[in-house]
Amino acid sequence: MRLALSVLAGVLAAALPWALRLWQEWRWGLPVRITVDPDNPSADALADYFATVARRLDERPERMRLVIDGRTAARRALTLDFLPDGAMSACVEGEPPKRFSLRRRWIPDHPVPLDLRACRLWIEPVEANRFRVMDRVPFRVPAAVYALCALLAAASAVWLAPECLAVAIGLAAGCITSRTVRA
C-alpha cells in the first residue's frame, strides 16, 4: 500500500508543473486562427494575414495566441524568415518569397526560418507598436520549488518516508521536463 501511494504521489507531483504550464497557455490571450488554403497556399495571403494581425495589435495591444493551420498543405513547405534589413519574408515552396515589412514591430524569440505548416505563436505586446512573438509560452519554475524538492528529499531520509522522496523526485522531474520539452 505504501509503495502504491508513493508511486501515485510521485506521478501527481510530476504532473503538477505540466498542468500549470497548460493552464498558463490556455489563459494567455485571445486565440486567432489562420487557415492556409491546402490546395493553393499563397505567400501573399500569409503576408496579408501577418499585416492584419499587426494592425489588430496596433489598435488594441493584447496577448494573443496565433494558430496557423496548414497541416493539409504538408506537400509544400510554408516558412517565415527575417531578412538582414529587418523585413520579413513569407515563402511557399516552389514560389519566389514574398517580402513584406511590419516596420520592425515583430521581435522574434524563436528560431528562424519558422515552419508554418502547423504552428502556434504566442504574441505579447512589449511597447508602443512592438510585440514579441514566441513559439512557446515562457514558463519558469521558481527556485523555491527546487529548494522544496531538496527539503522533501531530506525529510524522507530523516523520517524514512518514501512518499516524501517520491513527491520530491516527481516534482523535480516535472519541473525540469516542463521547462525543456516543447508541448
| 166/118 same-domain check | no
| Domain membership of residue 74 as a residue range | 29-134
**Tell me, what amino acid is at 158?**
V
Q: Are residues 38 and 79 in the same domain?
A: yes
- The answer to whether the CB of 155 falls within 8 A of the CB of 164 is yes
The verdict on 84 and 9 lying in the same domain is: no
Same domain for 38 and 80: yes
Cell of 182: 516543447
Looking at the fold, whether 124 and 145 belong to one and the same domain comes out as no
d(CA 80, CA 120): 13
Question: What is residue 77's predicted lDDT score, i.e. its pLDDT?
Answer: 81
Number of domains in the chain: 2
> Per-residue pLDDT for 55 more than 60?
yes
Model pLDDT for residues 121-133, shown as the tens digit of each residue: 889 998 878 999 9
Pair 95, 122 in one domain: yes
Given a cut of 80, is residue 73 above it in pLDDT?
A: no
pLDDT of residue 30: 73
144, 130: one domain: no
Please check whether residues 56 and 11 belong to one and the same domain: no
Per-residue pLDDT averaged across 113-139, rounded? 84
How far apart CA 171 and CA 144 sit, in angstroms, is 12
